[in-house]
Amino acid sequence: MNLIEQAEEFYQKNRKKIGNEEWILREMDTQMASRYAATGDFANFVEDIYTRDSLREEDFQMIKNIVNYVQRKGADKVIDFLQTLVDKHPEEKELLEMMSNSLVGANHHEEALALLEKLTTIEDDNAGYIRRWANAMIEVNRSEEAIGKVRSWAADKPSKERYEVLGDTLHKAGRHQELRDLGEKVLESADSSEKTEVELFLARKERDLGDWPRWKEALKKEFESKQDSNTFREYFTYLYSKGFEEEAIGLFGKHREDGLVDSWGSQNMDVLTACVRTGNMELAGDVVWQFTRFGEYYRRDNYITSARRSFQEYGKCDQLLAMLNEKIESEEDSPSFMLELLANSYSDYGDKKKALVIYDRLLADRSYDRNLLKRKASLLFDMGKDAEAFEIVENMRGATSIEQEVEDLVELARAYYEHDRDQDAEKVIADLSRWAGSPTSKRTIGRMLADRERFSEAIPYLEKSVKFENEYSDIPRLLLQCYFQVGDTDSAKQCYEDYQTRGNFRGMAEWMVSNEKWDLADDIMPEVIEENPFDFQHHRTLAKAYLKTGLEDDIQPLFSKYHDQVPEDRRDDLLRSYAKFLKEEGVLFDWIAEATDE
């Protein structure tokens, strides 16, 4: 019994025991579903679901997980997976929903209709089922029948929800005048609390037809009616995005003290950009202060970074920092976190001497603050004060774990390398290697050496770490790249074979192109494409590798194989992708020219 079979047996035996630990159950289900979809592992467990006379809640969760992963290979693959389950459990609504969605995704509207009609029979009050049934009917040119049934359904039990379904159906069928007539009729009978929502619904449909003024007026009415954060944000975003910047700023200035924007955090860059572009610097400074001084602590760094970038784009960053400095000093007890943000900003965008003064001011009270010490050391290196910087990094204090101690020494070695003190760096690494034996330590050392392009030195550390990495780790990819950089192609290929289902190999296509590793692409890319045949970048990478290594005749079979696997609605995209790539490479085979009429 191999490890996969042992894991499968263990999971089946203990799944009920961990039922109360929902997050563990979800994680294990996700792992099994992703492996089953990618490699077929855990097939016994999955196929056991097929034999059940009735499905449990956890079975549906597993089925949904599998569908989420299988659909990356196309709707047809999902249909194949679900068909047996639907045949065995023809009355299960969740299965019918998943199957109908997949059929619609694969443009099998006639087959989807049969299931959707069944769903509307099982639950005739479900607006979602009716809407999807009507959409499918319209796709097969049965608009009149769809509109008639939905109109009768809405009239049977008049409600806002049912009229919305009817409105959506009329809109999709292109019956815009009937939609307007319906809206006016509903408006006449709606009470005052419903009128705004009806107007908004109608305006949304008119917006889709290009009538933006009505949409603007509807958003304004909705905000004035509700006076909440969501409607304010939607109205403001519309004004800003459509060029009504003065109106947007006026709206913000009028309501910014009303609590409507307290939750915006780093999402209100539009406000800043509008203020800076129109020269309203005082309001811009107030906004930055509001969302840093009084914002959530975990959002401050991201917010100030985005704010600096916005000001920098218009050459106003110095003005922003001056305003922040003035506001900080105006407080009786200057908040240290704001001083730190200001120092970081001066360090990155402004006056480094001012940044150094603030760091020293902060370190007078927080002499063991590791982050401050590291920022100061980095600043000193940038200013050319290497001796002072090394004094800090060579005597870094305050480590509370082995990992932090390793990190400090690795950063010291990195600094030595960057300042041409290779012997000192190698001594630090050698001393560190004698006592730091954990996979985490090896990973940290290996990554630093690889970043410094010391690939042969990085390999032993990465080899010791890679066995302990999870499926999201990029260490297998980094090790593979190191192998190839030192010319060890066999080890690179073996690394991919060993870790292709465990490591994160995203970005390999771009890396192979930028480094012209065509031989590696010949061997690895077919397997990468097999896992995700719809990633056209991978197709282009392999086709280019074939051109570079004299395997031009392999390009057409590659195209033909995946052309048939890609859903029909995406085949033209694949064809255009190949044609564009080959044209850029200066070649155009007869078979692609005929297919694209070029």
Expressed in angstroms, the distance from the first to the final Cα of the chain is 56
Residue 592 predicted with pLDDT over 70: no
Q: Residue 594: its pLDDT value, please? A: 60
- State both tokens at 398: 């305050």
Task: Output 269 or 323, whichever has higher pLDDT.
Answer: 323
Question: Is 489 a domain residue?
Answer: yes
Location of structure tokens 């009768």: 152
Residues 386-421: tens digit of each pLDDT: 999 999 999 988 888 888 888 899 999 999 999 999
Q: ∠563-568-573 over CA atoms, to 5°? A: 65
Q: Residue 266: its pLDDT value, please? A: 44
Please enumerate in sequence order all residues whose Cβ is within 8 A of that of 34, keeping only pairs 6 or more positions apart, or say none: 65, 69
Task: Determine which of 192-196, 356-360, 492-496 has the lowest per-residue pLDDT on average.
Answer: 192-196
The answer to whether residues 446 and 527 belong to one domain is: no
Residue 209 predicted with pLDDT over 70: no
Query: CB count, 10 Å around CB of 438?
Result: 14
Task: Output 464 or 542, whichever has higher pLDDT.
Answer: 464
Q: Residue 220: its pLDDT value, please? A: 85
The answer to whether residues 496 and 567 belong to one domain is: no
Q: Residue 362: its pLDDT value, please? A: 93
CA 433 – CA 427 distance, rounded (Å) = 10
Question: Is 17 a domain residue?
Answer: no
Residue 57 predicted with pLDDT over 80: no
Domain count, the chain: 2
The answer to whether residues 461 and 529 belong to one domain is: no
User: Which of 249-258, 398-407, 496-505 is the most confident on average?
Assistant: 398-407
Question: Is 332 a domain residue?
Answer: no
Q: How confident is the model at residue 383 (pLDDT cuts 50, 70, 90)?
A: very high
Question: Is 428 a domain residue?
Answer: yes
Q: Residue 393: its pLDDT value, please? A: 92
The answer to whether residues 460 and 495 belong to one domain is: yes
- Contact at 8 Å (CB) between 424 and 402? no
Q: Residue 498: its pLDDT value, please? A: 79
CA 384 – CA 227 distance, rounded (Å) = 55
The answer to whether residues 548 and 501 belong to one domain is: no
> At what angle are helices 22-39 and 3-14 packed, to 10 degrees?
140
Question: Is 465 a domain residue?
Answer: yes
- State both tokens at 570: 């995406």
Residues 270-280: tens digit of each pLDDT: 777 888 888 88
Task: Determine which of 16-30, 95-109, 486-500 has the lowest per-residue pLDDT on average.
Answer: 16-30
The answer to whether residues 481 and 407 belong to one domain is: yes
Burial per residue of 33-69, b for 16 or more beta-carbon CB atoms within 10 angstroms, e otherwise: bbbbbbeebbeebbeebeeeeebeeebbbbbebbbeb
DSSP symbol at 18: G
Query: CB count, 10 Å around CB of 422?
Result: 13
Domain, as residue range, for 413: 399-505
Q: Residue 532: its pLDDT value, please? A: 59
Q: Residue 212: its pLDDT value, please? A: 66
The answer to whether residues 487 and 530 belong to one domain is: no
Question: Is 349 a domain residue?
Answer: no
Q: How confident is the model at residue 15 (pLDDT cuts 50, 70, 90)?
A: low
The answer to whether residues 484 and 534 belong to one domain is: no
Question: Is 566 a domain residue?
Answer: yes
CA 350 – CA 308 distance, rounded (Å) = 10
Closest to 137 measured CA to CA, from 94, 96, 170: 170
Q: How confident is the model at residue 514 (pLDDT cuts 50, 70, 90)?
A: low
Question: Is 362 a domain residue?
Answer: no
Residue 377 predicted with pLDDT over 90: yes
Residues 450-500: tens digit of each pLDDT: 988 899 999 999 999 988 887 778 888 899 889 988 988 888 878 877 776
Q: What is the overall mean pLDDT for the chain?
A: 80
Q: Residue 193: its pLDDT value, please? A: 63
Say which CATH number the domain at 487 has.
1.25.40.10
The answer to whether residues 405 and 455 belong to one domain is: yes
